[in-house]
Amino acid sequence: MSETQSIENKQSLNEWKQVVKSVAAFATSTGGLVYIGIDPHGKRHGVEIGKGTLEDLANKIKINTEPPQFPSIKYEGKEKSAVITIKVEESPIKHVWAFGSPFKRVGRTNQRLSREEAHRLMEMSTGRSWDALPCSGFELDHISDVYVGDFILRTGLGKTVLEDLLKNLALLTNQNTLCNAAALLFAFNPQRFFPEAQVKCARFAGKTSIEFIDEQTLDGGLISQLERALAFIKRNTRQAIRISGKAERDVVPEYPEEAIREAIVNAICHRDYAATGTVQIRIYDDRLEVWNPGMLPPDLSIEDLKSEHPSRPKNPKIAHVFHRARLIENWGTGTLRIIRECEGTEVKPEFVAEMGVFKVRFVKKVEPEPVIDELELSPRQKKALEFVREHGQITNREYQELFGLKRRQALRDLKELVELGMLYQAGVRKTTRYIIRKKE
């Protein structure tokens, strides 16, 4: 009897660990038979059956599988040279684990499931989204008072008991355990449970991802990641000044702030947290991109995003909390808001789905001219701009040495150049420098 998609042969009881893996693999797939006492080529060798042999084997399978499996086990032949048959039924709950790893049957082999595939199988078999699944090891004492307090402040809720808040937000499972969404939103260290639940931010020199000017990896709760991501963008893009009257000075961001916020909120709420990879924010000279691990639902196309379309939240529990925190206006309108906020600006939004990633790309239609003419600058500031054009950047210390100034005065001058749209600030603290955009 040769091995097939639904048949596995083991020559000896000493291979019981492989037997357990086969049981998990068959249960995740469509069921199958495991024979002990037959070699992989189908030749019968037989095994010795002693008192409690079958019970011991059944116990090993039960203890080392999750959810526990209880296959039918019997033997035929003489006790000195019997063949044990283990009949495995397809599990209604998928996937099935063995020794801490999920397995499935592929051809004549047992293969470990990728984390992404394991979570998708769980969603399909249980009818629950990934963020609704229980978070193993996450307890109430892992919750951050800071993150909970920030949420309560945003929602305008009064004093509330933590357990009641979690229950009202539907962040408890039917077994009264905390779900994945609760960990991502409120754990003081969500990355302990989900290491890749991060936002990676980078400002690149030029139009390619080769030379970093500034970069930061954001951990912590999801709402905290959003606010710090926005701060990174503000630090690494221009905030120009337009004179609209004798005394009126309007701050004009390089990219529409509400459109950027919406893109990041969508990426954090709708990303595939079962997939490897992180949310990424990439800033170039000519564009800003927000990358989101995961693809669109199969019934939703890129063109559908540009008109009214149904909401398909990948993580409905996370999206619900963001909605309660007033970070989402209405479900299913995020892409339309992005398009609307970019109307009348020099930025064009694009939506791209490729290589397992959904991207929102904000492309500048033209290279903007400086809003303030350099003739309005002081001689000192003009000389500083010449220095930056020659050297590519200037630091506060270099500005001090160039003009014999104190640090505070140098900082005032440089900040004014940033406000006027002549320079932008990159880096923080000791790595802070001021850079001018070069014309192509």
- The strand pairing partners of 106, in sequence order, are 109
Q: What is the rounded CA–CA span in Å between residue 360 and residue 296?
A: 12
The answer to whether residue 430 is domain-embedded is yes
Backbone angles phi, psi at 81, to 5 degrees: -145, 50
**For residue 74, pLDDT beyond 80:** yes
Sequential DSSP letters for 138-161: --GGGB-HHHHHHHHHHHT--S--
- Quote the CA–CA distance of 199 and 50 in Å, as a whole number: 57
The pLDDT assigned to 368 comes to: 47
C-beta neighbour count of 267 within 10 angstroms: 26
Distance between CA atoms of 321 and 169, rounded to whole angstroms?
7
Residue 132 lies in a domain: no
Q: Taking residues 234-263, what's their average pLDDT?
A: 77
- Quickly state the pLDDT bin for 440 (edges 50, 70, 90): very low
Is 53 inside a domain boundary? yes
Q: pLDDT digits over 117-171, tens only?
A: 776 777 666 667 888 888 989 999 999 999 999 999 999 888 889 999 999 999 9
Task: Look at residue 19 and tell me if it is in a domain.
Answer: yes
Question: Which of 84, 106, 127 is where one domain is finished?
Answer: 127
Same domain, 263 and 358: yes
Is a pLDDT exceeding 90 seen at residue 82? yes
What's the rounded mean pLDDT across residues 388-411?
Answer: 88
Top-ranked range on mean pLDDT: pick from 57-61, 122-126, 206-210, 253-257: 57-61
Same domain, 342 and 214: yes
Mean pLDDT over residues 29-40, rounded? 93
Overall domain count for the chain: 4
Better-predicted residue by pLDDT, 143 or 301: 143
Average pLDDT over residues 176-199: 94
Specify whether 188 is located in the same domain as 203: no
* Range 249-270 average pLDDT: 88
pLDDT for residue 417: 84
Looking at the fold, whether 215 and 158 belong to one and the same domain comes out as no
Whether residues 121 and 22 fall in one domain: yes
Query: Which run of H or E residues covers position 7?
Result: strand 7-10
Q: What is the reported pLDDT for 121?
A: 75
Task: Quote the domain boundaries for residue 378.
Answer: 374-435
pLDDT tens column, 348-388: 999 998 888 999 999 998 654 444 455 567 888 888 888 88
CA distance 95 to 66: 9
Distances from the Cα of 172 to the Cαs of 34, 127, 186, 341, in angstroms? 39, 16, 13, 36
**Alpha-carbon distance 211 to 216, whole Å?**
14
Confidence of residue 243 (pLDDT cuts 50, 70, 90): low
Query: Count of residues for the chain?
Result: 440
Q: Are residues 359 and 409 in the same domain?
A: no
Report the CATH number that the domain containing residue 42 is assigned in CATH: 3.30.950.30
CA dist., res. 321 & res. 319, Å (int):
6
Under the banding of pLDDT at 50, 70 and 90, the label for residue 296 is confident
Which one of 170, 192, 214 terminates a domain? 192
Are 244 and 355 contained in the same domain? Answer: yes
CA-nearest of 369, 362, 361, 345 to 437 is 369
Preceding omega of 67 cis (within 30 degrees of 0) = yes
Residue 2 lies in a domain: no
326 lies in the same domain as 257: yes
Residue 160 shares a structural domain with residue 281? no
- d(C-alpha 25, C-alpha 107), whole Å: 11
Predicted local distance difference test score (pLDDT) of residue 369: 47
Establish if 383 belongs to a structural domain. yes
d(CA 362, CA 371) in angstroms, rounded, equals: 21
Among candidate residues 345, 364, 383, the one where a domain is terminated: 364
Q: Does 405 reside within a domain?
A: yes
Residues 263 and 362: their CA atoms lie apart, in Å, by 10
Give the DSSP letter of residue 288. E
Compute the distance between CA of residue 259 and CA of residue 41 in angstroms, rounded to an integer. 63
Stretch 289-309: mean pLDDT: 84
Q: What is the pLDDT of residues 312-348, one digit of tens each?
A: 778 889 999 999 999 987 666 788 999 999 998 889 9
Residue 87 has what pLDDT? 95
* Same domain, yes or no: 235 and 346: yes
Domain identity same for 171 and 250: no
- Here the CATH number for the domain that contains residue 248 is 3.30.565.60
Q: Is residue 25 part of a domain?
A: yes
For residues 223 and 359, state if they share a domain.
yes
